[in-house]
Structure 1
Amino acid sequence: MLTASAIPETKFRIESIDILRGLIMIIMALDHTRDFFHLFGTDPTNLATTTPILFFTRWITHFCAAIFVFLSGVSVNLSSVRRSKKQLSIFLLKRGLWLIAVEFVFITFAITLDPLYHLLIFQVIWVIGVSMILLALLIWLPLPVIAGIGILLFFGHDLITGMNLPLNGVSGFLWKLFFTAFGAFIEMNKTHALIILYAILPWTGVMLLGYVLGEVYRPTFDLKKRKQIVLTSGITLTLLFLLLRTFNIYGDPAPWKIQSTTALSVISFFNVSKYPPSLMYLCMTIGPGLIFLSAVEKVENAFTRMLALYGSVPFFYYVLHFYLLRVLNIVLFFIQGYGVSDIVTKDSIMLFRPEQFGVNLSGVYLIWLLVIGILYFPCRWFSKYKKSHQQWWLSYL
């Protein structure tokens, strides 16, 4: 998974939100470490070739994108405490455009190392940016209307799965862009193309519901009542996942089936669709995330303080971790004996990633822990810097 958080800064911080965000940021780095370093050849979600630990390594990172986008909506609501609607709308518009530019310029380059940008990659930062632009328009509507739109997109977008939609032409492109993208590869000309991994509107629905729930995190809202609302919401989504998934009623294009072993049956049950995000994927991830969010309210210890540190500088962490992984990738490339002639791999979007390059899953976990440890120090510095400085541009980082 290639995923991130792009949340506007607030004058006050909700510690439990930073803790949850920090936790999934750490988990997110595991998925990207696997992308850069794991030996090719085994798809973690292919039941014919996967193993329980490989599937779990991929599955646990499913929580990242959904919770990041949801918390982005929460934090947009919190940022409205110190801005008028007009100010917030303008900020979201500029913030969204900035995030789209970062996705295409900095994140795409970190992945491809192609200075000519022959391939543009539409990932989670892009979809957060577009969703913020849409929210810049929607915040003028009454909150119940925003909630209704969010509910419709969140719970209803899977209805499109069974429809006979156009695949080509302008209409086909728009359907992919807004609803159905699943690694959609689209050629712009003979030398440039784009790949859409994140369809816009299902993720916008996630942000809108996060924005609505952000009401309970306003400074004047009763803490006990907030915990109960968040906990109830999390339990409801989790139970909905278990119910609908158990009976294959609705909410995912790939029903689960009993397999030859118990382990594979469990994998099949939890192997839900992320591209585009099915209702089952969203319930499976956001539900437990909200339960955790309620549980860590007012919890403070060394571990939660560490998580909150990472969670307080999400955008800085996200961009930095990609480039740190790239540096380590290139170092290992030469350590393993590859040369200049091996930098480009045919039919691969990534340089310094030959087919036989990489380490086993244990090595991936070791590199992941190294990355998390290294990132602690720049994140600690930047977190302190943000707390002691008030420059306008810090709202964009």
Structure 2
Amino acid sequence: MGTTPRIHSLDILRGLVMVIMALDHTRDYFHITATTANPLDPASTNTALFFTRWITHFCAPVFVFLSGMSVYLSAQNKTIAEAGAFAIKRGLWLIFADIVIMTFGLTFNPAYSFIFLLVFWAIGCSMILLGIFSQVSRTLVLATGILIVFGHDLLNFADLPQTGTVSVLIKILITGAATIVPINSTHLIGFFYAVLPWTGIMFLGYAAGTWYKKDFPAVTRKQYLVLTGIALCVLFIILRTVNIYGDPSLRKVYPSFLQNVFSFLNASKYPPSLQFFCMTIGPALLMLSALEQVSGKISTVISTYGSVPFFYFVLHFYFLHIMLVAAFFLSGYQTKDIIQSPLFFRPPTLGFSLPAVYAIWLFVVASLYLPCLWFKRYKTNHNRWWLKYI
């Protein structure tokens, strides 16, 4: 962001989650049961499919947490007012990008009959709120983040409205998993990421950004990362074992040991619960500590993806969808088979085995390396204003 020096460990972790994230989107488009079965259902899944989906749970929360860190670090070269205004403008841009760029990339539907509001929507709204709250104080951001992340699951015990405008707003902001709202008779908008739980994660990332200030001791930072990471992991185990608080769907008991392992790990992402936050951010902090001294060719390659996250994110979606269209016609489907649903070119009968999904994923990630490297160098060598938003 701007002239802020990049921190290699953050780029490595961000790049790693970007690469893993593409696996889940590849599975969505190409796995034979992607539209007909839940890969996380302990009663019907298998080990390979469960962990293919579960490992990607780390992507969104880690990315949002690191986005909060990036906002804090980029603010070091700006006044409080400038930093807040930039966060708000970038948030508005991300919401626009989700509506216009990502919705088309997901559907290839020029009529925009179904608008997807996904992770850019959640990040954009969170950045707008962060831009406002950060102008007051970092303490307010930290306190609000703690209150949201550790307290929003209290609503699981509340008797919330089930119908009406208030019910819809509560779902969009806090409790919803997939809230579909009609715009008119031919257009729908889907809110798939409840805003405020993700805002809490971003706020905590912003607060943790102070650990990466130039004058912050590296030894102390590593201690904070390790201690906080371990504490979150332990809290996840305790909450999941006690099975009373911290997740909208309490852990279920199944007949087999493996099914119970799946059940233990299957914390709620939609919306992200406290248990989900602990399960994902805890290990991420431990990894950040471990990545402090990492160098070499592999880490450099991975960090390349992490240094141009918006560019990579958009590009990989369009690439995957173009490949899906090609697979659609090569598999014998015709224009008349294009179903009028949110995901065009994805009939339930189209799909491949899990090994094929992994092969496609690796091909896509490898194919995007050179474009990402080019764009990283372009951003480094140019100082145009619009590059701050991409």
Q: TM-score, normalised by structure 2?
A: 0.97
Q: Where in structure 2 are the equivalents of 1:30-109 lying within 5 Å? A: 30-40=23-33, 41-109=36-104
Equivalent of 1:388 in 357, 376, 381:
381
Amino acid at match of 1:388: N
**Larger mean Cα displacement after TM superposition, 272-281 or 185-194:** 185-194
Q: Tell me the SS of whatever aligns to 1:310.
A: helix
Shift of 1:142: 2.2
Q: Where in structure 2 are the equivalents of 1:12-31 lying within 5 Å? A: 12-31=5-24
Q: Tell me the SS of whatever aligns to 2:313.
A: helix
Equivalent pair of 2:72/2:206 in contact (CA under 8 Å)? yes
Q: Tell me the SS of whatever aligns to 2:190.
A: strand
Equivalent pair of 1:9/1:75 in contact (CA under 8 Å)? no
Query: Which whole-Å CA distance do the structure 2 matches of 1:67 and 1:46 have between them?
Result: 23
Q: Tell me the SS of whatever aligns to 2:37.
A: coil
Equivalent pair of 2:43/2:259 in contact (CA under 8 Å)? no
Equivalent pair of 1:15/1:298 in contact (CA under 8 Å)? no
Q: Which runs of 5+ in 2 are unaligned?
A: none
Equivalent of 2:223 in 209, 228, 248:
228
1:280 aligns to what? 275
Amino acid at match of 1:22: G
Shift of 1:168: 2.2
Q: Tell me the SS of whatever aligns to 2:293.
A: coil
Amino acid at match of 1:199: A
Q: Tell me the SS of whatever aligns to 2:180.
A: strand
| Seq. identity, % | 48
Mapped pair 1:115 → 2:95 = no
Shift of 1:396: 0.5
Q: Tell me the SS of whatever aligns to 1:117.
A: coil
Which deviations, in whole Å up to 9, do the C-alpha atoms of 1:212-270 show, x marking residues without a partner?
A: 00001111111111111111111111110011111213101222233221111100100
Q: Tell me the SS of whatever aligns to 1:95.
A: helix
4+ residue segments displaced more than 3 Å? none
Query: Which whole-Å CA distance do the structure 1 matches of 2:163 and 2:188 have between them?
Result: 15
Equivalent pair of 1:10/1:75 in contact (CA under 8 Å)? no
**Larger mean Cα displacement after TM superposition, 181-190 or 147-156:** 181-190
Query: Which whole-Å CA distance do the structure 2 matches of 1:221 and 1:257 have between them?
Result: 44
2:335 aligns to what? 340
Query: Which whole-Å CA distance do the structure 2 matches of 1:9 and 1:333 have between them?
Result: 42
Query: Which whole-Å CA distance do the structure 1 matches of 2:244 and 2:41 have between them?
Result: 23
1:181 aligns to what? 176
Which deviations, in whole Å up to 9, do the C-alpha atoms of 1:267-309 show, x marking residues without a partner?
A: 0100111111111111100100010011010210222111111
Shift of 1:10: 5.0
Q: Which runs of 5+ in 1 are unaligned?
A: 1-7
Query: Which whole-Å CA distance do the structure 1 matches of 2:356 and 2:90 have between them?
Result: 37
Query: Which whole-Å CA distance do the structure 2 matches of 1:276 and 1:299 have between them?
Result: 33
Shift of 1:46: 1.8
Which deviations, in whole Å up to 9, do the C-alpha atoms of 1:134-185 show, x marking residues without a partner?
A: 1111012222222111100010000011211112222112101111111111
Amino acid at match of 1:14: I
Q: Where in structure 2 are the equivalents of 1:1-397 lying within 5 Å? A: 8-9=1-2, 11-40=4-33, 41-345=36-340, 348-397=341-390
Query: Which whole-Å CA distance do the structure 2 matches of 1:185 and 1:192 have between them?
Result: 10
Query: Which whole-Å CA distance do the structure 2 matches of 1:311 and 1:182 have between them?
Result: 27
**Larger mean Cα displacement after TM superposition, 297-306 or 93-102:** 297-306
Amino acid at match of 1:50: T
Inter-CA distance 331–76: structure 2 relative to 1 (3 Å threshold):
same
Equivalent pair of 2:305/2:372 in contact (CA under 8 Å)? yes
Q: Tell me the SS of whatever aligns to 1:170.
A: helix
Q: Tell me the SS of whatever aligns to 1:120.
A: strand
Equivalent pair of 2:239/2:246 in contact (CA under 8 Å)? yes
Query: Which whole-Å CA distance do the structure 1 matches of 2:100 and 2:48 have between them?
Result: 34
Q: CA RMSD in A?
A: 1.1
Amino acid at match of 1:88: A
Q: TM-score, normalised by structure 1?
A: 0.96
